[in-house]
Structure 1
């Protein structure tokens, strides 16, 4: 039995335009024509269309579908296996992204339900950018250090966050004062502030050896979203993020020297 293009489109759930496109591309040409010149599709055409739609659902491009349908069966199986592997990889990637989103949301919530007023009271102008949290999880999610930091952050109570943020505010005031006074980034005062920040991270989140602290500080200087976690935009000034980065690097070098000297004794 033969079917018109409109009937086939209705059967298959595709548009007439799609069938015309398949015909023009040589992928599915109707087996017959009516006396008036209209396309007519037979059972074999419908079977081929079903295969086309199957491969389209799997994400195959049209030119590859044509190669699969018109090529050797062995080649079709190889292409299917390759697509199966690609789909499994994509599923794994999407599962990872879902986990990343869940962790980022946990960080956004700081692990503790708070009203808007409580959040404002505790965090003030410090912002937790969800896009940055997600990217950080993608970048460092494999790290045990990052995992511990996220776990501890989600476990903090409201009182923990109040104490943490008060401590951070005091440190931030000292940093702004040192920067405003023109203290050199590799001077004792700036390096001591860097060391205080490293101790703060270790106390509230995760151990922070010098090499990790360097990476954290590099991120502060490179990404405003990261720096906004320690200094809100209203308190920032040009060069401050780079100043903190340089102080952290100087302090890390000082710590490394002290460790080497200790080992040599």
Structure 2
């Protein structure tokens, strides 16, 4: 017989995980002593091996329990999962192609078109991974946790494309020496805020000013903008001040 710590070590998992599996009836130890200690037998280890296998295939714990308890057709379920994995492999190949194009364009100093840049962002999981570093920063510095929010992939792609387009236009204005209050800049800002308003996001002149102020005071976001163009975060803030003054 094996203790819960023995099993955790053997299976490269955690005691907490095994306790949870017991709680939901997914992996019930063969014996529980009067003192409350869990003892696992050979059959339990074999079941755990199956659980971990199915987890690698992204089955939910509920589905795994149904499979192991014989409530789902194992063959049909695995065939379906195999098809999903093939789709994922193909999609990862597309992501690799996109990354390679991005690396190539960075070396050559050539901008990728927007469709190519965002070709790979097709699932909520990919967006969560893309936003992971930013979310961790917000949680650490401001105790704001956005990681559990549901992501609308289509909407996020639209927002990302608009952000890319807006920043590209603003950086061009900056590089070409346009004054922060230039009419062309004000019109582009107005168009950007109209887009945000249609998406139900903060879009008033004051909202825009507050956002750009945050960009220059927060290291993480300032660096993101400065990597695109040195001085851009400060230029954008002055643009927002001009826009707020004109349209407040």
With normalisation by structure 1, the TM-score equals: 0.47
- Larger gyration radius, structure 1 or structure 2: 1
With normalisation by structure 2, the TM-score equals: 0.50
